[in-house]
Every structure is written in structure tokens, then in C-alpha cells.
């Protein structure tokens, strides 16, 4: 049994890509997209027609509507391949506007429903800012399920659990990147792999907290840099993995065993915590890594959203 098949025994495998032609070979259950992945896909010749067709059909409509229609077009293509859910992201430029996030999310769902897609097959991705979490809470009340992304801090995960969001996406690789860069010459790779990887430790802490205290929000590790990070999180609810790393898992015959276990989490020595807005903002501020990576991630997604705007305008 290869490592990909072994991983599927413990964890729901999710494809992290907008390139839906790559998905089928790996037979994931779900798939995730983001502005950067969609931008990367539409610049490939084989996907250019999706952008051009969307613009041709809806020329004259507002730019933000064209963007949403393009995202849903990709999402529908992906849903034709996978049995589960697709995650589609609200414009990152709305990350600090809860009301606008709710409005944009509702439109995405309406566009999916117009294509005959059931609401339960779509997760709306929202940045895990305080405003994003409040928007997600409102969306969940309205029956729209959410995936809280750009999650780096334990306080973000706790607040998402309080809001009863469907799923969170802690960014393993970006956490690892920050600590490696911060340590500089003092970084010893051998001491920071597997269960000791700072990104892996972050997800394990969140997973154990959720399971110990009966929080139903799903944990989906994301943003992986290597196979070791993935195998160290076998047993996590879901893992969203790039096609390149999915291929490496499929080619590996190395043994793979469960690393995270919900039953073992019950025995963890952890205290229950909760946050209101003031304590959330303070906890996030005190976490330099999370503060920097959240801001950086939003800026990067905003830049790619702007690039996608330019492509739509030029088509």
C-alpha cells in the first residue's frame, strides 16, 4: 500500500489546487481553491477558455461578479470530479468587513445553487480575522458552511470553535517557514521535523483541544512543505495537499501510522480557554508569527485577486 492510500485510512484527503485536470488521478474526497491557485490555473492555456467564456457571457457586469462567476465555474468543474466538497474563497479584500463578507458569500452560494449544486457541497473560505470569524458565525446560522483560512494562532482556532464554523485550515508550512527564518543560522532542521515541526505542533495542539472539549469544527492541515509534515499529521480530520505532494505520497511505499488520535486527545492535560474580541485581538497581537503571517497572507491573496481582476478586464 502506498502512503496516499495508507493516509486515506486515517484522514480525509483533500486536493489543494485550481488545476482540476490534475485531481482525478489522486481520488481525493474534497478540494480547496484560493485566489492564488485560480490565478495560476487561468494563466495555463488549457484553462484560459474558462476565463474568456465567463467574460463573454457576462460582459458588462461588475468586476466582482465576474470574479465570483469564474470561481464558481472552477468549483463546478471540480465538483464534477470529486464526491465531496469544494472550498471557494471570498475576496480577501473583504477580510475586515464582516457584513460585506456575508453578502459576498451568499452570492457565491446562489451562483452554485443556480448550477444545481447543493449547499452542503460548498465551503466558503474566509480569512480567520475577528471580522471573518464573526461573518462565518452568521453564515453558519444561515446554513452556509465555512472554511476559516489563514489560520496560524491557537486563539484563531479557539474563536472559530466558539463560532461553530464547519472547518478550519491551519497553515503548517507557513508556520514552519516563519520559525525557520526567525531562527536563521541557529535553525537545526533535524530538531524541527516530524512531531517537532512547529507547524505540526500547532495543528496537533488545535486537534487535541477540539477533541478533548467536544468541539465539532473539523481540522484540516494545509500549506505543506514536505511529506514529513503530512505523515506527522496522519489522523487529522482532513489534510489539503498540493498535487505535487499527492504524487510523492502515491509513489512512496514507506510505512505510515496514525499520529493524531481523538481518543488519546481526551487524556491531554489542557485547560479550556475562550475569547471575546478584546482578548482575541490581544492574544493574536502577542503571537508575532501569527500576526505577521496573517497580514502577509491577506496581502498576498489581495495582490492575486487584483491580478485576476486585470486578466478579466483584459479578456
Active site residues: 125
Q: What is the DSSP string of the chain?
A: --HHHHHTTTSEEEEE-S-GGGTGGG--SEEE--HHHHHHHHTSHHHHHHHHHHHHHHTTS-HHHHHHHHHHHHHHHHHTT-SS-EEEEPPGGGTT-HHHHHHHHHHHHHHHHHTT--GGGEEEEEE-SHHHHHHHHHHHHTT--EEEEEE-SHHHHHHHHHTT-SEEEEBHHHHHHHHHHHHGGG--GGGGSGGGSHHHHHHHHHHHHHHHTT---EEEEB--SSHHHHHTTTTSSEEEE-HHHHHHHHH----------HHHHTT---------HHHHHHHHHH-HHHHHHHHHHHHHHHHHHHHHHHHHHH-
Name the grid cell of 214.
Answer: 467536544
The cell for 59 is 460582459
Amino acid at each position: 500500500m502506498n502512503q496516499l492510500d495508507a493516509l486515506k485510512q486515517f484522514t480525509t484527503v483533500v486536493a489543494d489546487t485550481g488545476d482540476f485536470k490534475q485531481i482525478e488521478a489522486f481520488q481525493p474526497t474534497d478540494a480547496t481553491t484560493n485566489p492564488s491557485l485560480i490565478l495560476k490555473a487561468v494563466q495555463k492555456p488549457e484553462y484560459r477558455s474558462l476565463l474568456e467564456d465567463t467574460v463573454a457571457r457576462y460582459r458588462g457586469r461588475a468586476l466582482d461578479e465576474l470574479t465570483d462567476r469564474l470561481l464558481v465555474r472552477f468549483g463546478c468543474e471540480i465538483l464534477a470530479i470529486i464526491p465531496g466538497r469544494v472550498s471557494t474563497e471570498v475576496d480577501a479584500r473583504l477580510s475586515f468587513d464582516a457584513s460585506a463578507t456575508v453578502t459576498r458569500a451568499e452570492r457565491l452560494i446562489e451562483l452554485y445553487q443556480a448550477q444545481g449544486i447543493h449547499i452542503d457541497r460548498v465551503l466558503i473560505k474566509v480569512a480567520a480575522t475577528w471580522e471573518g470569524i464573526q461573518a462565518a458565525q452568521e453564515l453558519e446560522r444561515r446554513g452556509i458552511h465555512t472554511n476559516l483560512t489563514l489560520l496560524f494562532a491557537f486563539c484563531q482556532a479557539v474563536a472559530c470553535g466558539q463560532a461553530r464554523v464547519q472547518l478550519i485550515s491551519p497553515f503548517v508550512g507557513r508556520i514552519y517557514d516563519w520559525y525557520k527564518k526567525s531562527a536563521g543560522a541557529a535553525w537545526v532542521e533535524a530538531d524541527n521535523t516530524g512531531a517537532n515541526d512547529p507547524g505540526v505542533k500547532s495543528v496537533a495542539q488545535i486537534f487535541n483541544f477540539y477533541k478533548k472539549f467536544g468541539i465539532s469544527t473539523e481540522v484540516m492541515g494545509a500549506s505543506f512543505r514536505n511529506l514529513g509534515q503530512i505523515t506527522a499529521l496522519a489522523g487529522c480530520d482532513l489534510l489539503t495537499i498540493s498535487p505535487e505532494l499527492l504524487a510523492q505520497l502515491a509513489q512512496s511505499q514507506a510505512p505510515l501510522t496514525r499520529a493524531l488520535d481523538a481518543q488519546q486527545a481526551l487524556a491531554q492535560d489542557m485547560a479550556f480557554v475562550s475569547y471575546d474580541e478584546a482578548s482575541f485581538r490581544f492574544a493574536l497581537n502577542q503571537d508575532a508569527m501569527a500576526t505577521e503571517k496573517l497580514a502577509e497572507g491577506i496581502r498576498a491573496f489581495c495582490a492575486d485577486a487584483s491580478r485576476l481582476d486585470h486578466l478579466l478586464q483584459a479578456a
